[in-house]
Amino acid sequence: MNVAKSEMELMQNYNYVVENDQVQKACDRIEAIVLAEHCRVDRLIEKYMNKEGVDGK
């Protein structure tokens, strides 16, 4: 129980929590997080802004 308490105290340092209640559910959640991170605007905006026509070039 002490481990769980210390993990909960550290949750505020992270963007995501994956509860390891069932292996398949945990894997699905991790896959969803990876997909979400790949789709973040701050990761993609420069790529799209530099495409011909978007930045006026």
Encode pLDDT of 6-47 as tens digits: 888 999 999 999 998 999 999 999 999 999 999 999 888 888
Cβ neighbours of residue 36 under 8 Å, at least 6 residues apart? none
pTM over 0.75: no
pLDDT number for residue 49: 86
pLDDT number for residue 7: 85
* Measured CA angle at 11 (ends 43, 37), to 5 deg: 15
